[in-house]
Amino acid sequence: MKIQVPKGTQDILPGEVEKWHYVEAMMRKVASQYGFQEIRTPLFEHTELFQRGIGMTTDVVEKEMYTFEDKGKRSLTLRPEGTAGAARAFIEHSYAARPQPTKFYYIGPIFRYERPQAGRYRQHHQFGVEVFGSPLPIADAEVIILALDLFSRLGLTELTVKLNNIGCPTCRQSYRQVLIDYLTPRADNLCADCRNRLTRNPLRVLDCKQDGCGAIVANAPSITDHLCQDCRDHFSRVLDYLRAAAVRYEVDPKIVRGLDYYTRTVFEIVYSGLGAQSTVCGGGRYDNLIETVGGPATPGVGFGMGIERLLLTLEKNGCYLPGERGPDLYIAAIGDAALEQAFAAMYGLRQAGVHVVTDLMGRSLKAQLKYADKIGARYVAVLGEAELAAGQVQLKQMQGGEDWVIAWSDLADWLTEKLGLEANKEEVR
């Protein structure tokens, strides 16, 4: 039997991985400029962290977690999202005692057992940011602006921020009963999942993607009519900050997000070109999460975005993404003495920052030149007995067709100067 990659996972191969490097580098650059520091948490945590943090009645905990028992009979779970692990690290390493706010970002794989869909896999990768310690609406606005700034630098501009305020535990409790009263007479027309959610977690009905449920909740009471004054004021200030930054947004009372830890601001950034799976970033405020998982009362706000879906969106939008790049230099060595000389020289060239390779297969000169062309080498250096005797090397530019003969001892300086000029031209373009 042929062993293949498990369903819902993928190999990221040369030609594709360069796109990941580019996007991840931009994520790190933007996050750093906004004052965020990288955090790397374990791929698995104690199951209780996600049960308490995300919520027992969420789809993630009920249906989508990869949970297993280790040899010590401990229940562990591959992380299904990044915020709970960051919250656990905040508590465990006493970040509450440090100057606030604490600003983390992370990039890494997460795991959910769900039906694979556009840009979403059972093992997919997420970029997320978390701001712990600030209760102010300016923190909500900053994480939204950070996401939009990242998208803009990657070439995405046709995006819309959709946001809502789902209240605090006090005002949400009164709305919960109003929503149950509205949905109960219509329960027979809800999907099976939403009938189950009706008394356990009725706000999740608002987020259902089934057409029948969508038609029912279209006329449901809005939570915005049941917010306490503090929540109203908070949301109003978030919108003020977004308007001040000229952010295009829509208030959508049906956005609730799928995790129980959210309070007040929730948001999604959508790109219509992806069809039904249009959300490229989602997040919100979670003022009770740290306390729920055993820490001191600490407000928080953040977002997560799937990197696979982001790459899909960039490609659909025709945004720049780098492809597989060949070596700067291929040394076509003829004979054992030349190959030994080439092998010794490559170390110094690589130390100088040159991407250089030579023949590892015992090919003829003709075959080496053909191979250098196939792998996209910029330059080829031909080194044989005559060149060794003269202390020279023949250089050929593969695309432009120019030829040079230079001293072998000058190769590193000549090449780094050429590559530097080409890099400057590339930056101007």
Model confidence at 205, in pLDDT bands (50, 70, 90)? confident
Q: CA-CA distance, 24 to 332, in Å (whole number)? A: 35
Among 66, 59, 52, CA closest to 123: 66
pLDDT at residue 429, as a whole number: 32
What average pLDDT score do residues 133-148 get?
Answer: 97
Question: What are the start and end residues of each CATH 3.40.50.800 domain in the chain?
Answer: 329-423
Tokens of residue 128, six digits: 């997320």
What average pLDDT score do residues 381-398 get?
Answer: 93
Q: Residue 32: how many CB atoms within 10 A of its CB? A: 12
Q: CA-CA distance, 297 to 299, in Å (whole number)? A: 7
Q: Following CA atoms 31, 32, 36, 39 in sequence, which dihedral angle do they give, to the nearest 10 degrees? A: 90
Burial category of 167 from C-beta neighbours within 10 Å (exposed 0-12, middle 13-18, buried 19 and up): buried
What average pLDDT score do residues 60-73 get?
Answer: 90
pLDDT at residue 122, as a whole number: 93
Of the listed ranges 5-19, 274-288, 397-411, the least confidently predicted one is 274-288
Question: What does the DSSP 8-state code read for residue 7?
Answer: T
Of the listed ranges 15-19, 64-68, 111-115, 170-174, the least confidently predicted one is 170-174
pLDDT per position as a tens digit, 77-131: 999 999 999 999 999 999 999 999 999 999 999 999 987 776 678 999 999 999 9
pLDDT per position as a tens digit, 287-329: 999 999 999 999 999 999 999 999 999 998 899 999 888 999 9
Q: Are 72 and 7 a contacting pair, CB within 8 Å?
A: no
pLDDT per position as a tens digit, 340-360: 999 999 999 999 889 999 999
Indicate the angle between helix axes 17-33 and 307-316, nearest 10 degrees: 110
Q: Are 61 and 54 a contacting pair, CB within 8 Å?
A: yes
Q: Residue 342: how many CB atoms within 10 A of its CB? A: 23
Whether residue 425 is predicted with pLDDT greater than 60 in this model: the reply is no
312 residue type, one letter: L
Decide: helix, strand or coil at residue 39.
coil
Which residue in the block uniquely carries the two structure tokens 């070596």? 327
Q: Are 77 and 66 a contacting pair, CB within 8 Å?
A: yes
Q: CA-CA distance, 283 to 262, in Å (whole number)? A: 8
Better-predicted residue by pLDDT, 140 or 171 = 140
pLDDT at residue 247, as a whole number: 93
Model confidence at 57, in pLDDT bands (50, 70, 90)? low
Model confidence at 427, in pLDDT bands (50, 70, 90)? very low
pLDDT per position as a tens digit, 331-340: 999 999 999 9
Q: CA-CA distance, 85 to 83, in Å (whole number)? A: 5
Share above pLDDT 90 across residues of the chain, in percent, rounded to a whole number: 67
Report CA 238 to chain centroid distance, whole Å.
24
What average pLDDT score do residues 140-144 get?
Answer: 97
pLDDT at residue 254, as a whole number: 81
Burial category of 81 from C-beta neighbours within 10 Å (exposed 0-12, middle 13-18, buried 19 and up): buried
Q: CA-CA distance, 76 to 135, in Å (whole number)? A: 32
- The listed range with the strongest mean pLDDT (110-119, 202-211, 274-283, 389-398) is 389-398
Decide: helix, strand or coil at residue 162.
strand
Question: What are the start and end residues of each CATH 3.30.930.10 domain in the chain?
Answer: 17-168+228-316
- The listed range with the strongest mean pLDDT (131-135, 194-198, 385-389, 416-420) is 131-135
pTM for the complete prediction?
A: 0.88
Report CA 373 to chain centroid distance, whole Å.
34
pLDDT per position as a tens digit, 244-303: 999 999 998 888 876 778 899 999 999 876 555 588 999 999 999 999 999 999 999 999
pLDDT at residue 186, as a whole number: 86
3.40.50.800, 3.40.50.300, 3.40.50.11400, 3.40.109.10: CATH of 329-423: 3.40.50.800
Burial 248-284 (b: 16+ CB within 10 A, else e): ebeebbbbbbbbbbbbbbbbbbbbeebeebbbbbbbb
210 residue type, one letter: Q
In the CATH scheme, what is the code of domain 17-168+228-316? 3.30.930.10
- What is the radius of gyration, based on Cα positions, of the chain? 28
Name 407's bridge partners.
392
Model confidence at 180, in pLDDT bands (50, 70, 90)? confident
pLDDT at residue 423, as a whole number: 53
Decide: helix, strand or coil at residue 340.
helix
Report CA 121 to chain centroid distance, whole Å.
13
Tokens of residue 252, six digits: 């959508």
Model confidence at 181, in pLDDT bands (50, 70, 90)? confident
Better-predicted residue by pLDDT, 423 or 176 = 176
Whether residue 426 is predicted with pLDDT greater than 70 in this model: the reply is no
Whether residue 60 is predicted with pLDDT greater than 90 in this model: the reply is no
| Alpha helix positions (H), 328-384 | 336-351, 365-374
